[in-house]
Structure 1
Amino acid sequence: MRATEPALRMRDVHKSYRRRPVLRGVTLDLHPGQLVGIVGENGAGKSTLLRVLVGDLALDRGSVECRGLVGSCPQETVLHDVFTVEQHLRFFQVAYGLDSLERAYELLEVLQCADYRQARLETLSGGTRQKLNLVLALMHDPRILLLDEPYQGFDWETYLRFWDLAAGLRDRGCAVLVVSHLAYDAERLDTLYRLKDGRLEATERVSVNAAACEAAS
């Protein structure tokens, strides 16, 4: 795949619930080595958009194409209270077909939660649970990363570590999409869109890197 080709491409995506339009023609290109944000008010359709992108929700019209492994960190975690952190890692190791958990352990260290490997989820804070949620999305080294409110519950230090991690992934060629209801630290993004009235609107937060990707595609 050439660097100028989108890792993820959406074209004219529509989705309605019981005749209530939520997405009204969303078009987006997400390139390798690009960190993109989408903001929108509660109920704007951000989670619906991500569910369409990961194939969890059928679209009514349009197309979605992904080139490469996808990692998804949903706002609603897929964690179970009676299992430990280590058990969650083992389950996802099997699901991803990984030979080892080296990358997962590395991510736990980066997010400063390696000491909780043997702890049950029911004993952990919301922020620590969210750290595990992020590790599960990243441990198979995806080329496309879709994050829904990924820093929810993080303390300030972990919040900063998250952005350092996201920037490092982008520099390694990962295509990263961060969805939130507020545009926190917009200067860290290459491109920022607003989801409004079922469509994406480009904001002025477009970097030279993002503009170059668009010009080359």
Structure 2
Amino acid sequence: MHATSELTSSKRVVLAARGIDKAYKRGPWPARRMLPVLADVNFSLRQGEVVGLVGENGSGKSTLMKILVGALAPDAGEVERAARLGYCPQTPQLYERLTCDEHFELFGHAYGIDSRREREARHSIYVALGFERYARVRVSQLSGGTVAKLNLGLALLADPDVLLLDEPYAGFDWDTYLRFWDLVAERRISGRSVLIISHFVADEERFDRILDLRDGRTVPR
């Protein structure tokens, strides 16, 4: 899936992080101290790119993702968003008493999608990820793998230009893992961008670029 540098550089930037710093207070009061997590993070994502951001647990990956989507404010730096974002968090934000269908309806309303378009998109997502038989099942009764599919499906619902995925395939079986990469490839072909944050990368050839998050900074691999 690697693109040539000339082709990649000709695409417009759809998401950029510049000089991002973030630190958290740690330790008991009054001896609390600031622990840096991100330090001058800089990177950009271009139209049609699939980029991996890899780091060990505790390296600040999820903190950076929350800053990118606007769920967390950085201590310094800025994020520029030039396209509509879809966000798949590492920990699903779901309602145990609602079914999969009801989640899609709720999120579709929040996205401002009309009912017909939402139903069509929902059906396509069910088929693509293979969990249509769970459409009327409550989240509390779903397996972890199906919850992961619903979590991803909700991020895909509005067909965003940029898809931000935090450990998206942690609960997938092999078949779903392959389906996931088929979806990513289709989005790339259509000019949409995908950023995948994970603690490991098994298939480097599926990415255009991979960045490592080390000591709070992004380093090209």
> Fold match, TM over 0.5?
yes
Structure 1: unaligned runs, 5 residues or longer: 204-217
Give 1:149 shift: 0.6
Aligned to 1:81: 96
Establish whether residue 48 from structure 1 lines up as the match of residue 66 from structure 2. Answer: no
Give 1:122 shift: 1.0
The size of the alignment, in residue pairs, is 202
When Rg is computed on C-alpha atoms for both structures, the one with the higher figure is 2
Aligned to 1:38: 53
Establish whether residue 144 from structure 1 lines up as the match of residue 125 from structure 2. Answer: no
1:100-142 CA-partner distances (Å, limit 9, x unpaired): 2211210111100011110011111000000000010011010
Aligned to 1:187: 205
Give the SS at the match of 2:140. helix
Aligned to 1:96: 111
CA RMSD of aligned residues (A): 1.1
Give me the whole-angstrom Cα distance separating, in 2, the residues matched to 1:192 and 1:104: 31
Give 1:4 shift: 2.5
TM normalised by structure 1 equals 0.91
Give the SS at the match of 1:132. helix
Give the SS at the match of 2:63. helix
Q: Quick one: which of 150, 169, 187 aligns to 1:132?
A: 150
TM normalised by structure 2 equals 0.89
Give me the whole-angstrom Cα distance separating, in 2, the residues matched to 1:105 and 1:92: 14
Aligned to 1:22: 37
Give 1:3 shift: 5.9
1:72-118 CA-partner distances (Å, limit 9, x unpaired): 00001011111100110110011000012211210111100011110
Aligned to 2:15: 8
Establish whether residue 166 from structure 1 lines up as the match of residue 199 from structure 2. Answer: no
Establish whether residue 178 from structure 1 lines up as the match of residue 209 from structure 2. Answer: no
| AA of the residue aligned to 2:150 | L
Give the fraction of aligned pairs with identical amino acids, expressed as a percent: 47
Give me the whole-angstrom Cα distance separating, in 2, the residues matched to 1:87 and 1:71: 19
Aligned to 1:57: 72
